[in-house]
């Protein structure tokens, strides 16, 4: 496989212009996640109603109801077909249409939302305004019907930090710098932001014990990740080439892959994670397209002396702009903080640019053996830790395996998550010469473990 072409979604176009403004004032809010340059997708309905879920697009503090847009016939051609596909209760049909359809819809909505409109898309402001639903009145569902979920391990800093705790003399296994590591996870327990889940139960082997014990997890952890939704898939037996792998990516979301570290330590050999990972995974409702992320691409590089990717994982486009500078933050709110009216406290800040493997490399490697990805499949990036410990995306790193508790406002500390704790993931992109865009929030809360009878 060779790689000379730049992925089409990498091209900057009129939708990215930092001076663009919408006739909706909230789209220009300072520090807002959803200006006209973003236009991410979600599945929503009005809270407390029996309405059907349907696709929507964020603009400012509002949601463009794609079902209403389609019914009103506001768009034409490929954009109209994409809006109709996005009007369903999941985004799979829209995802399956492919990158040209996603771009057509995003461009049409960008033009319709601009101050003064656009001559090539003369949508009346009043007509589109009638299709808006306030985000404050909405509830969300998982954006796609996820057929398969694969969790990768793309942060070399996370892999090294974990390795040092368990293998001080051999922190990083020799295959890590050659092959993107991943495992297949469970989809039924993936929930949307706002998810509440019970502390998991399982077997653990206490230090010094001769037999395992059973009970609630005592080392409940977070994993700061990004989720990558597959758009158009590939045929079984036909691999994706790295030159066009990104055209099969619908977009990126925030993802928290909660982990029971004590259960994991006992069960993971020889086949890997099981009960320690399958009890809950939380995703943000909003999916930001790769097209919207184009201004925030950065070069993909390897440290001097590290092996360069094999030919099938290498391309000129991937080297020049395969990484994304997505800023990431983890916030933690305890029950006491909530009772005192305090917001979550930041415990981690990092960037996706530190990942050792790119989005294109993940898709390419996943399919190189002929594995067929399908619209709506979800890939997890793995915990995204930066080069210093304050950029670590998991408590097991931040506390050095539980040895150094984190200090929180009001004198509280945390080594591992306690019942009632809420974790908030945030992501955004900003740089000079481009509009700031964001991912919204990904929130999850730990409930007490289920009580066993008898």
Catalytic residues: 158
| Cα(424)–Cα(329) distance, integer angstroms | 8
Q: Using omega within 30 degrees of 0 as the cis cutoff, is the peptide bond preceding 54 cis?
A: no
Distance of CA 106 to the CA centre of its chain: 20
DSSP state letter for 378? E
Q: What are phi and psi of 16, to 5 degrees?
A: -95, -5
Helix crossing, 77-86 with 99-113: angle to 10°?
100
CB 63 within 8 Å of CB 135: yes
Decide if 223 contacts 383 (C-beta within 8 A). yes
Reported as type and span, the H/E element at residue 79 is: helix 77-86
Residue 20 to residue 106: CA distance in whole angstroms: 14
Find where tokens 């939708």 sit: 15
Question: How many Cβ atoms are within 10 Å of 139's Cβ, its own excluded?
Answer: 16
Q: At 367, is the secondary structure helix, strand, or coil?
A: helix
Residue with tokens 């898709």: 363
Q: Cα–Cα distance between 142 and 140 in angstroms, integer?
A: 7
Locate tokens 């949508």: which residue?
A: 123
Q: Who's near 13: CB < 8 A, 6+ residues apart?
A: 107
Contacts of 2 (CB under 8 A, 6+ apart): 243, 311, 315
The DSSP letter of residue 450 is: P
Beta bridge partners of 328: 350, 427
Nearest Cα neighbor of 89 from 31, 136, 142, 132 is 142
* Cα separation values, 199 from 1, 149, 163, 221, 383, Å: 46, 22, 26, 11, 20
Residues whose CB is less than 8 angstroms from the CB of residue 344 and which lie 6 or more positions away in sequence, other chains included: 331, 332, 333, 337, 422, 423, 424
Which three-class secondary structure state does DSSP give residue 28? helix
Chain centroid offset of residue 341 CA = 28
- What does each C-alpha distance from 207 to 180, 196, 268, 269 come to in angstroms? 32, 30, 16, 17
């Amino acid at each position: 496989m060779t790689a000379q072409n730049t992925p089409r979604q990498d091209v900057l176009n009129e939708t990215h212009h930092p001076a663009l403004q919408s006739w909706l004032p909230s789209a220009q809010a300072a520090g807002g996640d959803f200006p006209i340059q973003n236009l991410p997708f979600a599945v929503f309905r009005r809270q407390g109603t029996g309405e059907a879920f349907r696709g929507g697009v964020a603009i400012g503090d509002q949601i463009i109801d794609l079902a209403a847009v389609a019914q009103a016939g506001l768009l034409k051609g490929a954009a109209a077909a994409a809006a109709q596909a996005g009007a369903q209760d999941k985004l799979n049909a829209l995802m399956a249409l492919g990158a040209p359809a996603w771009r057509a819809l995003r461009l049409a909505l960008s033009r319709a939302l601009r101050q003064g409109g656009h001559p090539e898309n003369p949508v009346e402001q009043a007509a589109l305004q009638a299709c808006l639903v306030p985000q404050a009145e909405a509830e969300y569902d998982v954006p796609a019907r996820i057929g398969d979920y694969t969790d990768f391990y793309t942060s070399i800093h996370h892999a090294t930090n974990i390795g040092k705790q368990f293998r001080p003399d051999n922190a990083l296994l020799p295959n890590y710098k050659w092959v993107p590591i991943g495992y297949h996870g469970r989809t039924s327990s993936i929930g949307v932001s706002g998810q509440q889940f019970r502390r998991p139960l399982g077997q653990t082997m206490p230090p010094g014990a001769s037999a395992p014990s059973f009970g609630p997890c005592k080392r409940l952890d977070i994993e700061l990740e990004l989720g990558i939704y597959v758009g158009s898939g590939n045929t079984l037996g036909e691999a994706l080439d790295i030159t066009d792998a990104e055209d099969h990516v619908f977009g990126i979301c925030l993802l928290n892959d909660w982990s029971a570290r004590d259960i994991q330590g006992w069960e993971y050999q020889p086949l890997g994670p099981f009960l320690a990972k399958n009890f809950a995974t939380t995703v943000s409702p909003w999916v930001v397209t790769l097209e919207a992320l184009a201004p925030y691409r950065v070069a993909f590089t390897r440290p001097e002396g590290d092996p360069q990717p094999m030919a099938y994982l290498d391309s000129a486009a991937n080297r020049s702009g395969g990484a994304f500078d997505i800023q990431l933050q983890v916030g933690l709110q305890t029950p006491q903080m909530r009772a005192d009216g305090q917001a979550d406290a930041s415990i981690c800040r990092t960037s996706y640019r530190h990942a050792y493997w790119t989005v294109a490399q993940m898709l390419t490697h996943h399919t190189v053996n002929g594995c067929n990805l399908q619209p709506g499949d979800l890939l997890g990036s793995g915990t995204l830790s930066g080069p210093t410990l304050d950029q670590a995306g998991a408590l097991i790193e931040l506390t050095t395996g539980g040895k150094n508790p984190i200090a929180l406002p009001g004198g509280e500390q945390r080594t591992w998550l306690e019942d009632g704790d809420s974790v908030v993931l945030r992501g955004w992109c900003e740089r000079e010469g481009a509009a700031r865009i964001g991912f919204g929030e990904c929130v999850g809360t730990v409930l007490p473990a289920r009580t066993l009878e008898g």
